[in-house]
Amino acid sequence: MKAVYPGTFDPVTNGHLDIIKRSSKKFDKITVLVLNNPSKNHMFTVEERIKLLKEITKNFENVEVDSFTGLLVDYMKQNESKLIIRGLRAVSDFEYEMQMALMNNSLYDEAETFFLIARDKYSYLSSSIVKEVASFNGDISGLVPNIVELAIKSKLRGE
């Protein structure tokens, strides 16, 4: 069974990685999809996010990384995928994610969304929080994989 795990992953966090690890044990193939949303101000380019995700997931035989622009369901139809993986951190996530799941299903009736509840230690974690903490020179070492921490620090130094 093929599944997609879409997101901006700007940057990818340990919470994202946990969802990828857990999903890779449940599905035959996972495609981590990097959202290309030109209207947002991202820290990393799509290409940089893909590179980081490929490095982080290189030991998962059934995980690949791709990107998309536009409707998720269009990507799914083109790639013969019917399953969407989404992580939920808090009740506040559920309302938005339920709305998106229902919309995706209305656009593509074969689309099903599987929700994974974040582990306690990641329930507060978001890419936005990581970027904010890092921008004030806070310790992000336990929040992101090491390669991502180095990339963030490099970005903030203007390298």
Catalytic residues: 16, 40, 89, 127
How far from 94 is each of 7, 64, 99, 127, 147, CA to CA, in Å? 15, 26, 8, 18, 30
158 phi-psi bin (left φ>0, alpha ψ -120 to 50, beta other): left
Residue ranges of the binding site for substrate: 8, 40, 72, 86
Q: Which of 24, 38, 33, 68 is nearest to 53 (CA)?
A: 33
Residue ranges of the binding site: 8-9, 16, 40, 72, 86-89, 97, 122-128
51, 150 Cβ separation under 8 angstroms = no
Residue ranges of the binding site for ATP: 8-9, 16, 87-89, 97, 122-128
